[in-house]
Structure 1
Amino acid sequence: MAEYVMKDLVRQSGREDEFVIASAATSREELGNPVYPPARRKLAEHGIRCDGHAARQMTRKDYEEFGYLIGMDRMNLSNMARICGGDPEGKCSLLLAHAGQSGDVADPWYTGDFEATWQDVNIGCR
């Protein structure tokens, strides 16, 4: 969800050529899958499309290629550090930290509350 919210915000600002925005899984459960249907519906409610998405695994090369690696929760950060061999350049952070908050993004996998996730992602991306 965060990938497409961020892409939409960047598109609205007319700065698409200044950013490369991508998402990657830190676990293997959803590899190859499209955006989860309830998340896709929540994005569509806000006019955001996510067609053609297929979940991919984060790799150590992502650490070299991206300036920021943003996790939704602390488990993501832990997995990111493991995958990347640490975070020597301080590139890894939690999404909500960019909004001055210390918590994790609400995880709809456990709660089913995609509205709460939408709110957190929207706050973090802005």
Structure 2
Amino acid sequence: MEHIDVDPTEHPDYLTLSEAGKECGVGMRVLQKLVRDRRIVEGVARTKRGTPYLHRDHVPSWSQIEAILAQMYLQQLARVEKAMKNLEVEVEAVRFDLSEVHADPDARSGTICARRLICRSTRRAGQCRGRRASSVAR
């Protein structure tokens, strides 16, 4: 952010985001988000109350805004892809534990205890003693 001594509201070279949006062809809210996310930094000055203004010489063009938005979109896609991969790993682990339980219901697996699913003798994790449902006092 540019630090200036002059209040941008009184300086003719500084535009409100609404005025800057009209110059570059995008809405004020788009510019607000880009300034808030620090995608547009150069030429930004704030009033004492924090309202952003853009210097007339630093108003981005339509193609610059489009490039910034495309970059943000690709970054979001990468985050979603990473989250999906993590989710796939977790689902695969649960699938593996389920297949172990199907193969040997008396054994404890990593996350699933077959007896705990049957007996429900305790609600606290790690305290299931593997008792059968018929032996649990109700």
Q: Same fold (TM over 0.5)?
A: no
* TM-score after normalising by structure 2: 0.21
* TM-score after normalising by structure 1: 0.23
Higher RCO, 1 vs 2 (CA within 8 Å, ≥6 residues apart) = 1
- Greater gyration radius: 2
